[in-house]
Amino acid sequence: MAAEMHAQGAAARRDLAVRAAVEQGLVGGADDAPPLVCLLDTDGIRASAAALTDAFAAALPPGTPVLHAFAVKACPLVPVLRLLADAGLGCEAAGPGELALARAAGVPAARTVLDSPAKTAAELREALALGVAVNADNLRELERLDALVGAGRPRSQIGVRINPQTGAGAIGALSTATATSKFGVALRDPGARARLVRAYLDRPWLTRLHVHSGSQGVPLALIAEGVRDLHALAEEINAAAGRRQVDTLDIGGGLPVNFASDEQDPTYARYVGALREAVPALFDGGYGLVTEFGRSLLAKHGLVLARVEYTKTTGARPIALTHAGVQLATRTVYAPAQWPLRILPYDAKGAPKAGDPVAQDVAGPACFAGDLLATARELPLLAPGDLIGVPDTGAYFFTAHYGYNSLPRPAVHGFTVTPQAGVRFAEVRPAQSLAEIVAESGGPLRDALL
């Protein structure tokens, strides 16, 4: 019931924001209004952060060290990272660019984790100098760390990522615990476990273990199985060391998102329940914990709003040509069966559009036939000047722009609904200008090849 009420509240805030975005000129049918804008529900983001922290706090003994590090890749926008930091979260960075974003947001090094399968020596050196936690991907990376750490004890907390090889979920490309995954030390390969234990015994400064089994499409039971294997390995290392060498378990993220409705399912509480069932000792306070959630924190709180520029009928199929397509919803366009998105119809004033459902295509602006957000989708018949809303796009969609056709990055605004049902917008990322597109495409160097 609580989840249903939250979904209803989020939908009501969304509809208020759409109408306000039109009224305040952020998007609309007028020639001087932008044809495209992206919105983030700041109250929803805060609610997700609270749900995560509360779910773990309720299951752990008081005082257990826990860091919830947001996966920057899911929404690499500095104001969002700052908002999450204010809500008590840190950052998980998968490269130097994301680390720079976390630092720009003011996230302390002690609340930042660096993960990447291909860290350079320079990246590792910077992380160690800052005191950022590091998860080494493989044993060769450990050898590189040996040279950088030297004989002293590093400021950074350092661990190793394992691949529990527990299998794939529904989306192979997002399943990181397969038999041949590129990530981590493969735990079930012959001799790998013994080599890993030996690596820890030889390096007293290795104090963490890390696992991340995947994300969208990976069931909770499979995620929990990987965490169970992680905990068992930590116990084995500590027994071999004769002391509590591994003191922190980084259990990654990967909570799937429901794209079929506004309901947030599975919840963090349900995820914690699955972990408690599979690995009850994880919650006895014996280890500090780190999580790395991304999509599940942001996806439900993002909305694309795009103007319908033209409509036509081809082969008896109505088609709405909009300004939202592959540049914002790249995964949906190239893999629609795995990444379906809902389409919410609004009229030109931003009010939800009613009418008899008609099967129609919703197309984007890119110059290739596959640029479709939806095919034969049953919606009230769209007309020029109407708007489409594309919800659940707050992570990995409009926050990770794809520059096909040199389509500009749209503006992103956060919104907050006041107690009087007013809507306040705050610019998170300005719209990209044509001059900026030319500049980043080598415009100032136009004669370089002559």
The catalytic residue positions are 367
For residue 176, report the phi and psi dihedrals to the nearest 5 degrees: -105, 10
Beta bridge partners of residue 175, listed in sequence order: 214
Q: Which of 378, 296, 368 has the alpha carbon at shortest distance from 334?
A: 368
Helix (H, G, I), strand (E, B) or coil at 270: helix
Contact between 107 and 88 under an 8 Å Cβ cutoff? The reply is no
Calculate the dihedral angle through the C-alpha atoms of 157, 161, 164, 166, rounding to the nearest 10 degrees.
Answer: 110
Residue written as tokens 């826990």? 66
Contact between 344 and 352 under an 8 Å Cβ cutoff? The reply is yes
Q: Judge if the upstream peptide bond of residue 384 is cis by omega within 30 degrees of 0.
A: no
Own/partner contacts of 169-175, CB < 8 Å, gap of 24 or more, are 169/214, 169/216, 169/217, 169/218, 169/219, 169/222, 170/217, 170/218, 170/338, 171/214, 171/216, 171/217, 171/218, 171/338, 174/214, 174/215, 174/216, 174/217, 174/218, 175/213, 175/214, 175/217, 175/218
Distance CA 343, CA 18 (A): 14
Residue 150: HSE in the Cβ half-sphere, 13 Å Cα cutoff = 5
